[in-house]
Amino acid sequence: MSGVNKNIVILISGSGSNMAAIVEASFKQRWQARMGARVAAVISNKVAAQGLSWAREQGIATRALEHTQFSSREAFDAALMAEIDPFEPALVVLAGFMRILTPGFVQHYEGRLINIHPSLLPAFTGLKTHQRAIDAGCRFTGATVHRVSTELDHGEILDQAVVPVLAGDTAETLAARVLTQEHILYPRAVERLLGAG
């Protein structure tokens, strides 16, 4: 990833807690001064996503594209690319972006598109990961940062954090503990990728 400005575009659908963790790490660890890297924009598929107002308060450009206004996934993804591309992103970071992306979108950002998933991939791809880990009797679960490929939750694993499953855990209590680790894991993985450029 060459160039002085390594722009990061983060995609969210809700509160954007992982987005906020990445933004805060970028300020605290001086990514701009050290690596020429900054979070340039936060984009959501929901106009009312709470994370957008938080990002605006940090002085970050925001965009919202309501996916329900588009006739197809392809049409939405094309409009989304048109919003992302002017920022010339070194990385496009999915942070609770609750959309399955089309192969065309994934290929457009190949090598630059990453996601965080709340399990130790390749275990428990898809949804309801915490309940499935509990139901399977797992003693450990966690979170995985991975490159996005055209197959859901199957891209190259970049980093993982392990979280114990405790007796009496519910999906909610386990999710909360995993999320605290996500907030450490995701900024670390992003910084490592940018620093390698």
Q: Which residues are catalytic?
A: 117
Q: What's the CA gap between 30 and 38, in Å, rounded? A: 9
| C-alpha 105, offset from chain centre | 15
Q: What's the CA gap between 137 and 131, in Å, rounded? A: 10
Q: What's the CA gap between 111 and 97, in Å, rounded? A: 18
Q: How many CB atoms lie within 10 A of CB 152?
A: 13
| φ and ψ at residue 11, rounded to 5 degrees | -105, 130
Q: How many CB atoms lie within 10 A of CB 136?
A: 11
